[in-house]
Amino acid sequence: MNDRTIIRSCTVQGHGGFMTVRDPNGLMLTKSPYIQTGSSFAQSANRQAFRGGMFVHGFNGNMPLEIVDVKNGDPFRLYARSKRSQVQVNGVGVGHGLFTRRPELPAPFYVNGVRYQVNAISAYNSTLGTCELILDKNSGTKDGNENGEGWLGPVTGYTLVGGVRTPVYGQTTNYPTILQTAGNRSQLGNDFTQINDLGYGLLVTNTGLSEMVGMFTYYCHAAYYANNGSEIRSVGGSNAYGNFGLVAAGSDPNEVAQTGTLAYNTAQTAKVYRNDSSQFYAEAEQNYVYVYDTDLIPLPEGEIDITFTNRKALISFTGT
């Protein structure tokens, strides 16, 4: 399936893969590919198998390459190349990436969670597997005015001085990365009936997107499967006699979790204080208590758990 392509009123049966997949050499721009009023009867092997109706892979157009260096000190113009495989044919390593095709654009690449977008390519040479990448001006980390800084190397960490967070960069040359699928990463459909014995109905993975209206599945291992940061919007569908109706798994490969630590503990121990002569009471049914031996001043709206001496009762209430 490619840009603006439609499959309508077709029934496919006996296939050992998926009825529709995205074209890895294509570019989906103005309109996502679409299947309408179709049927899928995948081959049955009497076991769970990787086959079915629609497979939407957001990374199917990915291209491995290496950032050689910046051009003339400009972080928005990069020399790039692909390397040949160690597998040889007639004494020459098998070429991939830039050796096989010119990338479709615009296409992003991510390094440690930072996004870079390639808007144009020049000096492309399929024989040498090289080209020049021209980045969008919003690419890379941002300066104090939220302007992109381009390629300064991979961000390996951050320093915090005076409340200002500054990235620390690694090597800028000969850095391997993946130029990802260009354009939209979606595939749509409606009125799609599927009988895929222990296969899949709609499988979307690696940031792929799909909208499906009226997809009816039978005997599928999983009817709607969103994997690795993918999204499915659906209405009016069903799943019958299968193992799983809806499945969500994994995480977005382009996201990098930001870790942190609390400035201080949010839980602490304390002792309830009672002194009737000083009017510090702790009567039954009382909705407040006096405490001491705390590590820090209790936070507003915090919860208090009180365990009595006999360890048989635990009372919780919100403190102010």
Structural domain containing residue 150:
63-179
Asked if the structure places residue 266 within a domain, the reply is no
Residues 74, 37, single domain; the answer is no
1 lies in some domain: no
Kindly list the distances between the CA atom of residue 113 and the CA atoms of 29, 58, 69, in Å, as whole numbers in the listed order.
24, 17, 20
Question: Do the domain assignments include residue 12?
Answer: yes
Closest CA to 304 of 283, 284, 282, 287: 287
- Domain assignment of residue 255, yes or no: no
Domain termination residue (choose one: 249, 282, 301): 249
Tell me, what's the pLDDT at 297?
Answer: 83
Three-state secondary structure call for residue 98: helix
Q: What is the structure's pLDDT at 313?
A: 46
Task: Tell whether the torsion through CA atoms of 206, 95, 100 and 171 is positive or negative.
Answer: positive
Chunk the chain into consecutive blocks of 10 residues (it has 320) and report each block's average pLDDT, rounded to whole numbers: 92 96 85 93 94 95 93 96 72 73 92 94 93 96 92 91 88 93 92 96 96 95 96 94 95 85 81 76 76 82 72 51
**What's the whole-model pTM score?**
0.76
- Using CA atoms, how far apart are residues 225 and 203, in angstroms rounded to an integer? 5
**Residues 277, 294: Cα–Cα separation, whole Å:** 23
Contact between residue 12 and residue 19 where contact means Cβ atoms under 8 Å apart: yes
**Residues 82, 231: one domain?**
no
- Check whether residue 54 and residue 68 sit in a common domain: no
| Listed residues 179, 196, 224: the one ending a domain | 179
